[in-house]
Amino acid sequence: MSTTRPRDRGCEQPTCRRAAAACRWTLALLLAAALRPEGALAAGGGHPDEAPLKLYFYERPPFHYSDAQGRVIGSTAASTEELLRRAELRVQWVPLPANRILNSLRSEQAPACSPGWYATPERRAEFWFSQPTMRDKPLIALLRADFDVPAGITAKAFFEQAQLRLLVKQNFSQGAYMNALIARMPESRVQRVALEVPGMVQMLKAKRADAIITTEAEAELFVQAAGLSMRDFRIVRFPDVPADEYRYIVCSRQVDAQLLARIDKAIAASKP
């Protein structure tokens, strides 16, 4: 008599699926870094006797991220490479977790930069910032679907809600307007974490917080990376958030002043 072994279904619980999604996200970051050729340079010219400019980046689709071959792609990556090509600079992309980039720019002795950052007063005191390279669309809130807010609510009224538990990423800016509103919230209602955003989305789903602030272009990507569905979440757009936040290339103080001037000149030449 033959026996049939029960089929191994693996882990089918929601928590396991979310953990697997988070693992896939982390493995993707590690694989991208492993596949990157050492000293990979952006296309374009540059002075042959000038060392490539080190450009730190973190995985942030659709703005700057690694493809399967280890190339850095995305809208911000492409526009940054073009700007630096105009400045006759070669570049070396170097992947780092987001929270380590500013620490590296602060502590390392070698010149380095990173694209796509807000220029807060605190950051301007420590780093050099280029001229603006891009204008942001207004940030949005990503909420659990069961967290109810009135239609058309302003960001000011949203952050004043007594029941709101906000989740923010450590050392990240939400833009000047939202930063000022969040600063007025009681610290007991603002949780600052070092997690990547897919992990923060999982915290929303687990009801450990109610909202995160992000870009609309990234919201669904973060939910997918967390192994979840947009059916469990909602996007809230705020009518009072201005579309006047700009992003910049941030550089360490070790970058030569003449090189900085070349970057700013290239940015000015790219404006219509």
Structural domain includes residue 3: no
- Decide if pLDDT at 4 tops 50: no
- Do 72 and 164 reside in the same domain of the chain? no
Of the candidate ranges 4-8, 45-49, 263-267, the one whose mean pLDDT is the lowest: 4-8
- Provide the number of structural domains found in the chain: 2
Structural domain includes residue 42: yes
Structural domain includes residue 150: yes
pLDDT band at 201, cuts 50/70/90? very high
Comparing CA positions, the residue from 224, 181, 188, 182 lying closest to residue 205 is 224
- Do 95 and 161 reside in the same domain of the chain? no
- State the CB neighbour count (10 A cutoff) for residue 121: 7
Question: CA-CA distance, 75 to 127, in Å (whole number)?
Answer: 24
- Do 89 and 121 reside in the same domain of the chain? yes
- Per-residue model confidence (pLDDT) at position 16: 52
Structural domain includes residue 12: no
- Do 167 and 221 reside in the same domain of the chain? yes
pTM of this structure: 0.79
User: Is the separation of the CB atoms in 236 and 153 below 8 Å?
Assistant: yes
Q: Which domain holds residue 147?
A: 140-236
- Do 190 and 92 reside in the same domain of the chain? no
- Decide if pLDDT at 92 tops 90: yes
Question: CA-CA distance, 215 to 204, in Å (whole number)?
Answer: 16
The residues facing 178 across adjacent strands are: none
pLDDT band at 5, cuts 50/70/90? very low
Assign residue 171 a region (left: φ > 0; alpha: ψ between -120 and 50; beta: otherwise): left
Structural domain includes residue 16: no
Structural domain includes residue 252: yes
- Do 109 and 154 reside in the same domain of the chain? no
- Do 121 and 254 reside in the same domain of the chain? yes
- Do 149 and 187 reside in the same domain of the chain? yes
Question: CA-CA distance, 63 to 2, in Å (whole number)?
Answer: 57
Comparing CA positions, the residue from 33, 40, 35 lying closest to residue 69 is 35
CATH number for the domain spanning 252: value is 3.40.190.10
The runs of H, that is alpha helices, within the chain are 14-35, 75-86, 98-107, 121-124, 155-159, 176-183, 197-205, 216-225, 257-270
The alpha carbon of residue 151 and the mean position of all alpha carbons in its chain are separated, in whole angstroms, by: 28
- Do 31 and 130 reside in the same domain of the chain? yes
Structural domain includes residue 14: no
- Do 126 and 253 reside in the same domain of the chain? yes
pLDDT tens-place string over residues 119-173: 999 999 999 999 999 999 999 999 999 999 999 999 999 999 999 999 999 989 9
- Do 217 and 249 reside in the same domain of the chain? no
Go through the chain and tell me how many residues it has: 272
- Do 88 and 150 reside in the same domain of the chain? no
- Per-residue model confidence (pLDDT) at position 172: 93
